Amino acid sequence: MYSMAPYRQMAKPTAPYTKRAPSPPPVLIPPTHWAVPMKIVPRYDNVDPASLSKEDLAIITQNGLELVAQDSAAHWTYESRRVAQSILDHIYLGPSSIARNRQWLREQGITMILAARDVRQAGLNIMAFDKLAQEMGIEARYVDVSGYHELIRAFPSAVRMINDHMLRIYREQAVETSNMSVQNGAMVIDETTFKRGKVLIFCETGNDRSASIVCAYLMAVFGMSTVQVCQFINYKRFCVSMDEDLKHTLRAYEDILLAERTVHQHELLRSNLTTLVQKKAKRGIDETVDDDGDDGMTGMHQYQSSDRDRFLGRDNFTPFVDA
């Protein structure tokens, strides 16, 4: 038996050995120019049709108004991290301390607070805001996860919580018109008394778990990519810091949203085509006879045709109708 020792002495490793799994490549967020604002226009093509209808999207986004974000780095101060920033007209992001500021909640017209907690905090009843919410007449909801790996499972329910709340606040203030049709009921809002729903999303610092939920909401409702949401949220709240785990979680959620949107859009298109074919009118007896006086077969006038005689004098009768 030959020994391998001489050959091992002829080579040496160029890097230290490691036994862990290889790390995924980093998600690079390109720098933006502080003087150039980010503009986003909501489009229904970017939304999963199984989650929102066109009418729902119009209500939530106020009929698709353009969103503009200016870079906040120029006027950012250290104290700014202790308050909440408006990411959208109806979404605020901040630390847990701002959720206890009753005056701020009242001034901003917050109608729901959404806490992103560690599941251990929920078990110890830490960061519980039910009593405060009941006192102020607002809604309190929670997203409890044990780590970043569970966020991707919590994103859809968090997005649904926010959208359901916004739609409920709108419809509770809607007044049905007197000439409302059965199929398409129109709702009119009294602009003088209407108060739009507003949601405060927070965690301990307002910079990681809660920020990722806001990013997931922007991706689901506005169709933004991982890079776009990271840039957009930094424009609004400069202290947000996304580590690589959160970025990869958002990237995976982006792929899931794209797959679901593609499948559901295809299913909706196929369903619409099937309905269109089913609604096509059935051919009547008059359509079987030429209008130019020739039935195309015998050269006889349509009322002289022997086949026509068997239909004369019959009452209208439909043997089958659409279910």
User: Which DSSP string corresponds to 254-312?
Assistant: HHHHHHHHHHHHHHHHHHHHHHHHHTSPPP-GGGGS-TTS--SSS---TTT-HHHHTTT
Three-state DSSP state, 68: strand
Q: Is residue 317 part of a domain?
A: no
Domain span at residue 188 reads 38-276
Per-residue model confidence as pLDDT tens for the chain (323 residues)? 556 556 556 777 777 777 777 778 888 888 877 678 888 888 888 899 889 999 999 889 887 777 888 888 888 999 999 999 999 999 999 999 999 999 999 999 999 999 999 888 877 777 889 999 999 999 999 999 988 889 999 999 999 999 999 999 998 887 655 443 334 455 566 667 778 899 999 999 999 999 999 999 999 999 999 999 999 999 999 999 888 999 999 999 999 999 999 998 888 888 878 777 766 655 555 555 555 555 455 555 544 555 566 666 666 767 777 76
Q: Is residue 3 part of a domain?
A: no
C-alpha distance across the termini of the chain, in Å: 85
Contacts of 198 (CB under 8 A, 6+ apart): 90, 91, 92, 108, 109, 110, 111, 112
CATH for 186: 3.90.190.10
Task: Please give the Cα distance from 26 to 60 (Å, whole number).
Answer: 34
User: Which of 162, 94, 221 shows the shortest CA–CA distance to 229?
Assistant: 221
Q: Is residue 29 part of a domain?
A: no
Q: Is residue 177 part of a domain?
A: yes
pTM: 0.76
Q: How many domains does the chain have?
A: 1
Secondary structure letter of residue 66 according to DSSP = P
| Residue 276 neighbours by CB distance under 10 Å | 9
